[in-house]
A and B are shown apart, each in its own frame.
Chain A
Amino acid sequence: MINAIVEQGLFYVSALLAVAGALGTVASKSAIRSAMSLLATIVGIAGLYLTLSAQLLAAIQILVYAGAIVVLFVFVIMLLGGQVQPNQDKRTSSSRAIGAGLFALSAILAAVLVARAGLGGPHLFDPPRIEFGSVSELGRVMFTDGVIAFELIGVLLTTAIVGVMAVARTRHAKTNAKSKEVGP
């Protein structure tokens, strides 16, 4: 009983945090606030992972997203600093209306889809095996069934690092002048 209350409490708090964070990410005017809201979403989803007995993934979510990706975002925002112009939206009110309409339509559609999905009523989970979602269990799967994908992910990350360095490194003055010519 207590378990159920704790579980429900954790779920609702996490879900609220995630949805509110998502809204905040999309809606805030400044990028730094968006990044903070994204952090909230990530933490909320990590909480949801916990209720789903995915302890390892919850940890990874915090580590990778909160610890790496959001920090990276913040870092870039700092790097660009005040030079980032404030929101000068040139869009007309009609296009805003269309956007809002699309948003409403997609929300309704998503709700209809989920509500009508022929799954046959609420599906309550069975109690999980004790080792479900544990580090050892997931690790075993990852290094047996998913080992090729795991290695490929390593290659992908290496490639990404090289790519990032290639794209973002500071050019010499000569190349800079050239790249300016490309602009309008």
Chain B
Amino acid sequence: MESLLSLFPNPEDNFPLIAVILGLPLMGALINGIFGKRLGPEGVRTMALSAVGGSFLASLAAFLLLYARVQQASASLSEGAAVPHVKFVWNAWRWLALETTSIDVVFAIDSLSATMMLVVTGVGGLIHLYSTGYMAGDPSYHRFFAYLNLFIFSMLVLILGDNLPILFVGWEGVGLCSYLLIGFWFEADKNASAGKKAFITNRIGDFGLLFAMAMILHTTGSLSWAGIEARAPELFNELQIWPIGVAPSWLPAFLTSPVVVNYATLIGLALFLGCAGKSAQIPLYVWLPDAMAGPTPVSALIHAATMVTAGVYLVARMSFVFVLSPTAMMVVAGVGAFTALFAATIGLVQHDIKKVLAYSTVSQLGFMFMGVGVGAFASGMFHVVTHAFFKACLFLGAGSVIHAMHARIHDTDASQDMRNMGGLRKYMPKTYWTYMAATAAIIGLPLTAGFFSKDDILFRAFVNRIQPSGLLKDLAIRNAVQKAGAPLSDEAREAVVQGLHIPEWFSTAVFVVGVTAAILTAFYMLRTVFLTFFGDFRGWRIVPGWKNDDHDHDHHASHAHDEPIDGPVPHESPWAMWVPLVVLAFFALFAGWVNAGPFHLTAFSHWLEPSMQSGLKMVTTIKQGDELTHLEHLLLIPGVLAFLIGSGAAYWVYYVKKGEPARQAAQSAGGLYRLVLDKWRIDELYEATVLGAFHSLAETAALFDKWVIDGVLARLTTIVIQSFGSLFRAFQTGRVQMYAAVMVVGLFATGAYLLTAHGEVVVTKDEAGGMYIVEAAPGLGYKYRWDRDGDGVWDNPQLEQDETWTLLQKVQVQVPPGQETKVRVEVQNAFKMTKIREIVLRRPLPDKSRPDPVGMNVPIEVMP
């Protein structure tokens, strides 16, 4: 630590270690991407692992250093004072300078980003190690690791970026890597279109993020976290979003009544649209289950542990914006809760093990948004961390299972179908135990990591209230006064403040929905365990080339005693695959103790607090002190009950009764069952509405293109170009003399121009004095004669000679007010060609109605 401090004596201002953290994965990506083929798998593996490993070590060093600095800073504080927000900054370069602000490429590490950074590089490193085993033998081995390293780099840019544009660069970068990796096996049409679906769905969210960025720049004039935070009260200004401009009078009154929102709500909702896209929340969650088409390590890294939590990170990062708008907070928490429940229902019936995990991820992300939406930013982030451990472990375990199944079944879909598994506990014990550990965490087995984080969220959802602080109240009342145009009565002020509160029933509803989702989680997760690892192996009767052509969804137990067919036996995965599993399983079980609320261990929350101080200021709880602790212990009961009910039901249905009750339920509620199996047919709904609308729009545009663009415009262009072409082609005879003849024509044109005398004049006005300067066109050998007084006789400036031709190119004419003068000039060129030009200068009387003492505004007319 001392040596680190001596290396970076002043990390708050300049911390170039960030360059190492960011640079290593980028370098790995470039080297693997460019030279990967020549390096061979061995070199690619070394490169990729050392890049991420080095980045992890640097991150760890940075984390420890940050921890030390925070300890130093808080040691000298008095009891109860807020811990200062320690932040290590590396200002790389200035990206662009705007008139009011500048956007720098600047990265920063504070407690929030340091935590995320450790998760990304740590879990990312483990998944890299796992991938070296999982992807072994793939022809595009180097491409895979180039993408994976690039993803780590982009994700770090997203996390470490100290302003919104840099975050957005990372945001788009991870989106790109996600797209590339989902479609990694792009030969299959299904994978390529899953990648496209993810990319396009994310674009909708990115639109929201861009929109929010523009509005933040508009209101606060800054895009960096500190800059936005400093001027966050500006966001409470109001904006009329409807009608835009002046509404036409023929619209009915209810359409023209003005809709006024404050910027915070607008920005909060726009940001959340971005988060919903990236973190797969309703209504943009549809891409994530399809994203499972990518290799399983990708699903673990990008679509479970890191990238999809970027939305949660953004909400936590922008907490000071969200808390300004109770509406936005309500939307975040509400959507999160509903997504948690909704995705869990779909997860109940899926057969594909990765699909179950995917819907589980969507559901868990809903939990996280539920947490940050009720103002429990630390709880939400804590669930991000624990979820990264157990969900990565689950996905990698599933990958290990699929890897084993592949030995038997060379079919992507069939090898992931749980109906073909069973009894794998015997063949792959390490996978089984780690999978069990991660499952225990996700279903909330008491004292595991998932138990603490999930219960923290549920508890916070119940007790947290967004409490408008003094400033927020003042601003709301100011807005109301402005709207009313008069001072408000006391009751009216009270009503305005009450309007800022989130209704009481909302917290209870979120809590109930959360507990329900937790029950479902326990059920479907144990279902995967029992179907995969218990009972007898059902893959015996699967021969190579097997096709899932019968649609009897519940046949899994009925053929369990069929004659086995000879073939390879499922086997445990190599060490590179099970070592990460063990590490992740360890953390899934024990990481919860860093923030075990019921045991008064709140290190994690305290650690994150400085990063979210101004957001947390607005959040209070319904009870304080001992009462709060008491309530926390009381609220453990629903959590534990949810675990017991869910897992008990799954044990009874799938272990004791071998799935018989599930079959019966599916038969008795056939329609509903199929609806859920088809994921509530949301994809079909989008297909019919959104895509249908776009298709008809596209068809209209295609018709326009066909008839107007191609039919008229293109043909017209062709005709014009063709006619000019044939005209010019006539000159291109290839004979030198033809070209010379054209030159002669040009010579004639030049000669004609030189022969003509050019009589253009320019009049300059000196308005105050009534003086006009008339300047004739200059030219080689030009002579001029002037008639300045309009008497029809050429002036003779040289009195002693009888010669009116002069070299005088410019003359002055004095015109009295209200009068006009005719001026003539004759121009003669070197070939004695002449041209006479006549102009009338008219000076109007000064306009008395305007305060214009010198007559500067008087228009001067010049008549040719």
Do A and B touch, yes or no (CB under 8 Å, in the complex)?
yes
B751 touches A109 (CB 8 A): yes
- Kindly state whether residue B225 has any CB partner on chain A within 8 Å: no
- Kindly state whether residue A81 has any CB partner on chain B within 8 Å: no
- Kindly state whether residue A113 has any CB partner on chain B within 8 Å: yes
Starting from the known contacts A117-B830, A117-B831, A118-B830, 8 additional A-B residue pairs (CB-CB under 8 Å) come to A105-B748, A106-B744, A109-B748, A113-B751, A113-B755, A118-B828, A118-B831, A118-B832
- Kindly state whether residue B853 has any CB partner on chain A within 8 Å: no
Return the chain B residue nearest A99 by Cβ. Answer: B741
Give bound CA distance, A112 to B752, whole Å.
12
Out of B744, B748, B751, B781, which one reaches A118, CB within 8 Å?
Answer: B781
| Interface residues as binary, A27-52 with B (CB distance below 8 Å gives 1, 0 otherwise) | 00000000000000000000000000
List the 4 shortest-distance A-B pairs measured between CB atoms, nearest first.
Answer: A116-B831, A118-B830, A116-B832, A118-B832
Which chain A residues border B833 with CB–CB below 8 Å? Answer: 116
Enumerate 20 A-B pairs (CB-CB under 8 Å) in ascending A order.
A102-B744, A105-B748, A106-B744, A109-B748, A109-B751, A112-B831, A113-B751, A113-B755, A113-B831, A116-B831, A116-B832, A116-B833, A117-B830, A117-B831, A118-B781, A118-B828, A118-B829, A118-B830, A118-B831, A118-B832
Return the chain B residue nearest A110 by Cβ. Answer: B751
Inter-chain CB contacts under 8 Å: number:
20
Give the Cβ gap from A92 to chain B, nearest Cβ, in Å. 14
Give bound CA distance, A117 to B830, whole Å.
6
In the complex, chain B residues 828-846 whose Cβ is within 8 Å of any chain A Cβ = 828-833
Give the Cβ gap from A108 to chain B, nearest Cβ, in Å. 12
| Interface residues as binary, A92-126 with B (CB distance below 8 Å gives 1, 0 otherwise) | 00000000001001100100110011100000000
Give the Cβ gap from A104 to chain B, nearest Cβ, in Å. 13
Return the chain A residue nearest B745 by Cβ. Answer: A102
Which chain B residues border A105 with CB–CB below 8 Å? Answer: 748
| Interface residues as binary, A2-23 with B (CB distance below 8 Å gives 1, 0 otherwise) | 0000000000000000000000
Q: Interface centre among A105, A117, A118, by most B CB within 10 Å?
A: A118
Give bound CA distance, A114 to B370, whole Å.
97
Give the Cβ gap from A181 to chain B, nearest Cβ, in Å. 19
Give bound CA distance, A109 to B744, whole Å.
13
Give bound CA distance, A112 to B832, whole Å.
11
Give bound CA distance, A106 to B832, whole Å.
19
Give bound CA distance, A76 to B722, whole Å.
45
A: which residues have CB within 8 A of B?
102, 105-106, 109, 112-113, 116-118
Which chain A residues border B831 with CB–CB below 8 Å? Answer: 112-113, 116-118
Return the chain B residue nearest A119 by Cβ. Answer: B830
B: which residues have CB within 8 A of A?
744, 748, 751, 755, 781, 828-833
Which chain B residues border A113 with CB–CB below 8 Å? Answer: 751, 755, 831
Give bound CA distance, A106 to B741, whole Å.
12
Give the Cβ gap from A116 to chain B, nearest Cβ, in Å. 5
Give bound CA distance, A109 to B750, whole Å.
13
Give the Cβ gap from A118 to chain B, nearest Cβ, in Å. 5
Q: DSSP majority for the B interface?
A: loop
Give the Cβ gap from A90 to chain B, nearest Cβ, in Å. 12
Give the Cβ gap from B785 to chain A, nearest Cβ, in Å. 15
Give bound CA distance, A167 to B751, whole Å.
37
Which chain B residues border A106 with CB–CB below 8 Å? Answer: 744
Give bound CA distance, A108 to B49, whole Å.
89
Q: Interface centre among B748, B755, B829, B831, by most A CB within 10 Å?
A: B831
Which chain B residues border A109 with CB–CB below 8 Å? Answer: 748, 751
Which chain A residues border B830 with CB–CB below 8 Å? Answer: 117-118
Which chain A residues border B744 with CB–CB below 8 Å? Answer: 102, 106
Give bound CA distance, A117 to B744, whole Å.
21
Give the Cβ gap from B599 to chain A, nearest Cβ, in Å. 96
Give bound CA distance, A102 to B832, whole Å.
24
Which chain B residues border A117 with CB–CB below 8 Å? Answer: 830-831
Give the Cβ gap from B203 to chain A, nearest Cβ, in Å. 58
Return the chain A residue nearest B752 by Cβ. Answer: A109
Which chain B residues border A116 with CB–CB below 8 Å? Answer: 831-833
Which chain A residues border B748 with CB–CB below 8 Å? Answer: 105, 109
Give bound CA distance, A170 to B744, whole Å.
36
Give bound CA distance, A109 to B749, whole Å.
12
Give bound CA distance, A7 to B781, whole Å.
33
Give the Cβ gap from B633 to chain A, nearest Cβ, in Å. 100
Give the Cβ gap from A95 to chain B, nearest Cβ, in Å. 11
Give the Cβ gap from A103 to chain B, nearest Cβ, in Å. 11
Give the Cβ gap from B801 to chain A, nearest Cβ, in Å. 15
Return the chain B residue nearest A113 by Cβ. Answer: B831
Give bound CA distance, A113 to B832, whole Å.
10
Give bound CA distance, A118 to B829, whole Å.
8
Give bound CA distance, A102 to B833, whole Å.
23
Which chain B residues border A102 with CB–CB below 8 Å? Answer: 744
Give the Cβ gap from B737 to chain A, nearest Cβ, in Å. 11
Give the Cβ gap from B826 to chain A, nearest Cβ, in Å. 15
Return the chain A residue nearest B754 by Cβ. Answer: A113
Which chain B residues border A112 with CB–CB below 8 Å? Answer: 831
Return the chain B residue nearest A114 by Cβ. Answer: B831
Which chain A residues border B828 with CB–CB below 8 Å? Answer: 118
Which chain A residues border B751 with CB–CB below 8 Å? Answer: 109, 113
Give bound CA distance, A118 to B831, whole Å.
5
Give the Cβ gap from B547 to chain A, nearest Cβ, in Å. 63
Return the chain B residue nearest A102 by Cβ. Answer: B744
Return the chain B residue nearest A98 by Cβ. Answer: B741
Return the chain A residue nearest B751 by Cβ. Answer: A109
Give bound CA distance, A112 to B751, whole Å.
12
Give bound CA distance, A154 to B161, whole Å.
70
Give the Cβ gap from B830 to chain A, nearest Cβ, in Å. 5
Give the Cβ gap from B743 to chain A, nearest Cβ, in Å. 13
Give bound CA distance, A40 to B748, whole Å.
30
Give the Cβ gap from A9 to chain B, nearest Cβ, in Å. 32
Give bound CA distance, A105 to B748, whole Å.
10
Return the chain A residue nearest B832 by Cβ. Answer: A116
Give bound CA distance, A105 to B741, whole Å.
14
Return the chain A residue nearest B833 by Cβ. Answer: A116
Give bound CA distance, A113 to B755, whole Å.
8
Return the chain A residue nearest B830 by Cβ. Answer: A118
Give bound CA distance, A66 to B288, whole Å.
93
Give bound CA distance, A102 to B751, whole Å.
14
Give bound CA distance, A43 to B744, whole Å.
28
Give bound CA distance, A164 to B828, whole Å.
50
Give the Cβ gap from B170 to chain A, nearest Cβ, in Å. 62
Give bound CA distance, A112 to B830, whole Å.
12
Give bound CA distance, A105 to B829, whole Å.
22
Give the Cβ gap from B406 to chain A, nearest Cβ, in Å. 64
Give bound CA distance, A118 to B828, whole Å.
10
Give bound CA distance, A106 to B747, whole Å.
11
Which chain A residues border B781 with CB–CB below 8 Å? Answer: 118
Give the Cβ gap from A143 to chain B, nearest Cβ, in Å. 35
Give bound CA distance, A63 to B656, whole Å.
124
Give the Cβ gap from B746 to chain A, nearest Cβ, in Å. 14
Give bound CA distance, A34 to B748, whole Å.
28
Return the chain A residue nearest B781 by Cβ. Answer: A118
Which chain A residues border B755 with CB–CB below 8 Å? Answer: 113
Which chain A residues border B832 with CB–CB below 8 Å? Answer: 116, 118
Give the Cβ gap from A105 to chain B, nearest Cβ, in Å. 8
Give bound CA distance, A113 to B833, whole Å.
11
Give bound CA distance, A117 to B828, whole Å.
12
Q: Interface centre among B744, B751, B828, B833, by most A CB within 10 Å?
A: B751
Give bound CA distance, A113 to B829, whole Å.
12
Give bound CA distance, A106 to B830, whole Å.
19
Which chain B residues border A118 with CB–CB below 8 Å? Answer: 781, 828-832
Which chain A residues border B829 with CB–CB below 8 Å? Answer: 118
Give bound CA distance, A174 to B349, whole Å.
84
Give bound CA distance, A118 to B781, whole Å.
8
Give bound CA distance, A96 to B830, whole Å.
34
Give bound CA distance, A162 to B535, whole Å.
97
Give the Cβ gap from A123 to chain B, nearest Cβ, in Å. 15
Give the Cβ gap from A94 to chain B, nearest Cβ, in Å. 14
Give the Cβ gap from B69 to chain A, nearest Cβ, in Å. 75
Give bound CA distance, A116 to B828, whole Å.
12
Give the Cβ gap from B67 to chain A, nearest Cβ, in Å. 79
Give the Cβ gap from B744 to chain A, nearest Cβ, in Å. 8
